[in-house]
Amino acid sequence: MASVRITGAVVAAATMVMLSYCYLGLFRFSDKFSTEKKKKKDKLIRRNGLVDAIGNTPLIRINSLSEATGCEILGKCEFLNPGGSVKDRVAVKIIQEALECGKLFRGGIVTEGSAGSTAISLATVAPAYGCKCHVVIPDDAAIEKSQILEALGATVERVRPVSITHKDHYVNIARRRADEANELASKGRLVARGEKTNEEEKEPSLFSDSVTGGFFADQFENLANYRAHYEGTGPEIWDQTHGNIDAFVAAAGTGGTLAGVSRFLQAKSERVKCFLIDPPGSGLYNKVTRGVMYTREEAEGRRLKNPFDTITEGIGINRLTQNFLMAKLDGGFRGTDKEAVEMSRFLLNKDGLFVGSSSAMNCVGAVRVAQALGPGHTIVTILCDSGMRHLSKFHDPDYLSLYGLTPTATGLEFMGIK
Ligand SMILES: Cc1ncc(COP(=O)(O)O)c(C=O)c1O
């Protein structure tokens, strides 16, 4: 009798355990199902204005490179941002932080010294914050760049290219212009309060009297750049790979992307290895692999222009920026101009991907990492901007032939892959 009672109790307990297990399983399943459903819905939901359309870019498998290397090579399609590049994220973060800390107001001018994507992104997003954009660029930059900026409503100043240590380097002029806009705004406030200003001191200004102040974006040193990637690009990559990522690789200009993404991924898992791919003429490879950036002769500021010109744009630098200093790297690789050109044509022919020079260099980096780690790894890189921004140099056959860079490869033999 006692044994029947014990057996009954055991059966009842086992049934309870089984029922709660099924219930928990069902609960977990429906929870997962509704999260997936919510994710899909979020993707389809309308975005709130231009700024909200920035980021959450697709992460795509680059089929040709994945099949050739035996690794999963994934590219984050930053060229699909509204302003056409990875710099949209940075422009938004720089302006938002400046507004939040009271260094910029609606009606203010954001100034930047840049011949590239950041200026275009700032000019694209500034109106969404009720601000304007003033860009100072070297006068040897392609004329299309100033045309695009002006078409976007920015004011553009083209100046003679000089060393970064010269007070009239375009970055230094941009910083000065922000100060001038601030002075103009404070004079305007004095006048509005009926207080005296010395009219004779007044010099003709580039900005209208209604300006509320200026803010120098300073993409190289402003850590809002790093934070844009630590809070945006990094987490997106982690989510899109479900944490299944072995390595990240990218070239650096300001260093913001590499720093933000590497810091975030390594905070998530120290297993994720992060690498630099460096173009010709840049000192970063030496810094990462040997701890020394340059010889005294090579130091930025000792020459007018980079003596080892590269066809790639927006990447490679010979000084350490605050943004780059935040990067957490496991190593570095070098890439050549020829490899970047060949890679861009390979991606176009095999995958239909029409990318710019830095994206092509990043893919050279992804293959180098795949070769170093061996098959079976997942490697992520950034597709920074589209080939459309590079029609007059990187995608111009005449320009390439002038520099002996005409692409000739039929496959990936330029990366040592048969
Ligand atoms: C087209 C392009 N790709 C890549 C980069 C490099 O990114 P980061 O400045 O985050 O190092 C830049 C920087 O200006 C760029 O303009």
Give domain limits for the chain: 51-80+223-415, 86-194+207-216
d(C-alpha 146, C-alpha 379), whole Å: 36
Distance 75 CA to ligand 1 centre (A): 15
Return the structure tokens found at 186: 């404070």
Atom of ligand 1 nearest to the CA of 260: 10
Probe target for ligand 1 pocket from 94, 117, 276, with the most ligand atoms within 8 Å of CB: 117
Which residue CA neighbors atom 12 of ligand 1 most closely? 314
Distance 253 CA to ligand 1 centre (A): 5
Atom of ligand 1 nearest to the CA of 256: 10
On whether the 86-194+207-216 domain is CATH 3.40.50.1100, my answer is: yes
Atom of ligand 1 at shortest range from CA of 117: 16
| Stretches in the chain below the pLDDT threshold 50 | 1-2, 22, 297, 303-307
Sheet holding 72-77, edge to edge: 59-61, 72-77, 378-383, 247-250, 273-278, 331-334
For residue 254, the ligand 1 atom closest to its alpha carbon is: 9
What is the number of other CB atoms lying within 10 angstroms of the CB of residue 44? 6
Q: What was the pLDDT predicted at 307?
A: 43
* 265-to-268, 271, 283 alpha-carbon distances in Å: 5, 9, 25
Res 219: pLDDT: 96
For residues 410, 411, 417 and 418, what is the CA-based torsion angle, rounded to 10 degrees? -60
- Using the mean position of ligand 1's atoms as its centre, give its distance from the Cα of residue 382 in Å: 10
Model pLDDT, residue 202: 54
Q: Does domain 51-80+223-415 have CATH number 3.20.190.10?
A: no
Per-residue confidence (pLDDT) for residue 211, from 0 to 100? 82
Distances (CA, A) of 251 to 131, 271, 334, 410: 31, 21, 10, 25
Ligand 1 pocket by Cβ (under 6 Å): 85, 87, 116-118, 252-258, 314-315, 356, 358, 384-385
Among 347, 331, 365, 374, which residue's Cα sits nearest to residue 71?
374
Q: Which atom of ligand 1 is nearest to the CA of 90?
A: 10
- Contact status, residue 253 vs residue 226, Cβ threshold 8 Å: no
| Dihedral sign (CA 123, 177, 320, 286) | positive
Measured CA to CA, the distance from residue 14 to residue 158 in angstroms comes to 80
Alpha helices (runs of H) in 193-255, residue ranges in sequence order: 224-228, 234-240
